[in-house]
Chain A
Amino acid sequence: MSTPTVEHSLDEAAFHEHFDATIAADRRIEPRDWMPEGYRRTLIRQIAQHAHSEIIGMQPEGDWLLAAPSLRRKAILLAKVQDEAGHGMYLYSAAETLGADRADLTDKLIERKQKYSSIFNYATLTYADVGVIGWLVDGAAICNQVPLCRSSYGPYARAMIRICKEESFHQRQGYELLMTMMRGTPAQRAMVQDAVDRWWWPSLMMFGPPDDDSPNSAQSMAWGIKRHSNDELRQRFVDMTVPQAEFLGVTLPDPELRLDPETGHHRFGAIDWDEFKRVISGDGPANAERIARRRAARDDNAWVTEAATAYATKHAARKHSA
């Protein structure tokens, strides 16, 4: 495309002004729009990490696919894990509109140059974990994600709309499994409580560090990439979850958890951020295993991808010469 030189000579400040005005009017930025480099980079990083989280997030639950204790639960779980692959793909798609390349992002994940949500580095020890992941982890994800449906970047916001629809469905499925187990045998009830004990704190950590220790948040909020602070979202999640826990009949493992009648919000105990940092920097129970699985999927099957490319090339050439 021939680009008039006058456009090149336009002051970048003018583009920036237009961009800022679009953001200020709460309108969407679309792929071909001019955008500041920082905005593009931040988005690629955020969307890629989100996509990686979906793909890695298939594993903790996927570990129960072969052993799901009823055929109905197996079908539900398989469909859910499949949805997560779909979410990852929608998100990689959105990142590609910014000039990223999915194969390259996958390489970065496998080489540990990009991260994913630390929650998926915990192992799933019993089948109750599948339910608790649906209830708490997907629940926390929904709190994080619903505001992203209004993200300033159009393709990301649109991907999030579909993802949120499916996530809320997953959360209800997880909760339904837990309700069924709580109506079951004493062993099943004990499994549920044990899973809640193990996943509660990591779920709270999913919202990230306290606002006063979250240096990038302010810029992301200003750009409309992020809509609420970590602490706001965490509080919303706790307030939403406490009554659900009561209804279910489980105890959340926090002796300090109580309703503050003045604010109407639940106060909760201190989060162990040291653990969080250990897990996120690679020292969690399952980090190595999670990455190894993706590496194997890529490397052991590289010949399949190559074969399909070779076949497509051959047949395109034949079609052409025919």
Chain B
Amino acid sequence: MSTDVTAEGGHGAVPTGPEVPVEATPAASRRDWPLYEVFVRGKRGINHVHVGSLHAADDEMAVHAARDLYTRRNEGVSIWVVQAADITASSPDEKDPMFAPSGDKVYRHPTFYEIPENVPHM
């Protein structure tokens, strides 16, 4: 069949259909640096708010990278970083039976989805 393409990837058209042949590659099983969540106080008088995450080898690197990425090194901005794995969460929906019965971390779903390579439309 023809390559199945959709514009769903915001930047433009991306294919979802049959994969192009994959050349044999050495296994690149490098583990990434831990995930950190970043909280920024934009100015005095407002709370720190969660703005996103990044990867860093340690806390210091995380603060620096957060400053570079999320505040463009704007002076006078306060930044908190915390390893995502260290966050324990309570959610407003916690007691709701509709709440997913999985995971106790806010930002990460605990299951990693390894999808077979030749599933169509992946």
Contact = CB atoms under 8 A, between A and B. Distances in A.
Indicate yes or no for A touching B, C-beta below 8 A: yes
Interface of A: 1, 3, 6-8, 10, 14-15, 18, 31-35, 40-42, 44-46, 49-50, 53-54, 57, 86, 89-90, 93, 96-104, 107, 110-113, 115-119, 137, 140-141, 144-145, 148, 159-160, 163, 205-209, 213-217, 220, 225-226, 230, 233, 276-277, 280-282, 298-299, 302, 305-306, 308-309, 311-312, 315-316
A103 B35 CA distance: 11
Given A46-B8, A110-B28, A215-B4, A305 B33 contact: yes
A141 B10 contact: yes
Given A31-B107, A86-B69, A280-B13, A100 B113 contact: yes
B11 A1 contact: no
B27 to A, nearest CB: 9
Contacts of A214: 5-7
Interface of B: 2-16, 19-20, 22-23, 25, 28, 30-33, 35, 52-55, 57-58, 61, 69, 89, 91, 93, 97-104, 106-113, 115, 117, 121-122
A99 B108 contact: yes
17 contacts: A32-B99, A34-B98, A50-B10, A50-B14, A53-B14, A57-B11, A104-B112, A107-B28, A140-B12, A144-B12, A205-B12, A209-B5, A214-B6, A220-B6, A230-B6, A230-B7, A280-B14
B100 A207 contact: no
B28 A299 contact: yes
B57 A308 contact: yes
Contacts of B20: 112, 281-282
A280 B14 CA distance: 8
Nearest to B31: A103
B109 A207 contact: no
B14 A49 contact: yes
Given A31-B108, A97-B109, A111-B22, A18 B98 contact: yes
Given A46-B8, A99-B109, A34 B99 contact: yes
A63 B122 CA distance: 31
Contacts of B100: 15, 32-35
Contact of B53 (A42, A49, A93): A93
The list of the 3 closest CB pairs from A to B, nearest first, reads A208-B7, A206-B12, A308-B57
A93 B28 contact: no
A308 B10 CA distance: 33
B6 A312 contact: no
B7 A233 contact: yes
Contacts of A41: 113, 115, 122
